[in-house]
Amino acid sequence: MTEHIKTERKDGIFTLTFARPDKKNALTNAMYGVLADALIAAETDPAARVIVLRGEGDMFTSGNDVGEFAAIAAGAVQGERHVSRFIRALAQSTRPLVAAVQGRAVGVGTTMLLHCDFVVLAENALLSTPFVNLALVPEAASTLLMPLRIGHARAYEMFTLGDAMDANTAKDLGIANRVVPLDRLHTEAAGVAARLAKLPAGSLAATKRLMRDAAVLTAQIGAESQCFAERLKTAEAREAFTAFAERRPPDFMKVA
Ligand code: COA
């Protein structure tokens, strides 16, 4: 368990809140564990008709905890890694997933949105996927979903150059449904979730199943995960993680 994920069940809506604002909601193994368990449990919980993902503080999430990446790269981490369970549970969820995003959504913070069925962005939302900047590869089936959603050229640019996309661009390109002022973000997301919760759950699940092939997504996640695990152990990745810890830009040209 971790206090860094808050869960709330009310009126058929299961809300999962990233609650580590002092670290910009960077996601740890323990947090992924709680998120995965919650998504899996929701599948058989009739009271969880809709799932809402949101973050406390000024950001949705700054993505995977980079310190944990570094620890894995150094071989200092043993035991079960929950991130794969979380990503698979997202891809396989039959429940409507609603996201409410303010500020930055980095890495998995953005790729998880590609699994959400309804994405509400605050005007200040900034989506980025700087996987190559960290000498890694994109995950969560985003190598399939992102080019499908926004086209190969834009997806390649996001994955490699890592620049952030603003809220209105994300909406125009079909990553998000709505852009609202920051102070209306959670009300808007809650309103959408409440509408979805009143719809016939069986019909929602069947519609979602027809719209996305969980088996194809899971296979893509498998291929990405293997490559990601290999990349974590490279000298390039070590340079990226060291640079983050030392608060300096990485210098990949010095890596042989
Ligand atoms: N992993 C671990 N710690 C993180 C983190 C992450 N992904 N993102 C932020 N933090 C920590 C910072 O190290 C800092 O900790 P400290 O107060 O102990 O020094 C704290 O959260 C606040 O972050 P800071 O960088 O000061 O905030 P900012 O508003 O200036 O910048 C970001 C926010 C998200 C732009 C910046 O923190 C960042 O680039 N983080 C890394 C994002 C990333 O590469 N994620 C992985 C993607 S695959």
Which residue bears the tokens 């209105």? 168
Given this model, what pLDDT does residue 76 score? 85
Structure tokens that stand for 164 in this block: 């952030």
Decide: 29 and 81 in contact? Cβ < 8 Å: yes
pLDDT, position 180: 98
Ligand 1 centroid to Cα of residue 146, in Å, is 24
Q: What is the pLDDT of residues 12-25, one digit of tens each?
A: 999 999 999 999 99
Q: Residue with the nearest Cα to atom 5 of ligand 1?
A: 26
**CA angle centred on 17, ends 11 and 21, rounded to 5°:** 150
**CA of 25 relative to ligand 1 center, distance in Å:** 9
pLDDT in tens, 158-204: 999 999 999 999 999 999 999 999 999 999 999 999 999 999 999 99
Ligand 1 centroid to Cα of residue 24, in Å, is: 6
pLDDT recorded at residue 80: 78
Ligand 1: atom nearest CA of 131 is: 48
Distances, alpha carbon 97 to alpha carbons 8, 136, 159, in Å: 15, 27, 24
**Does the CB atom of residue 24 touch ligand 1 within 6 A?**
yes
- Full set of structural domains in the chain with CATH: 5-182 (3.90.226.10)
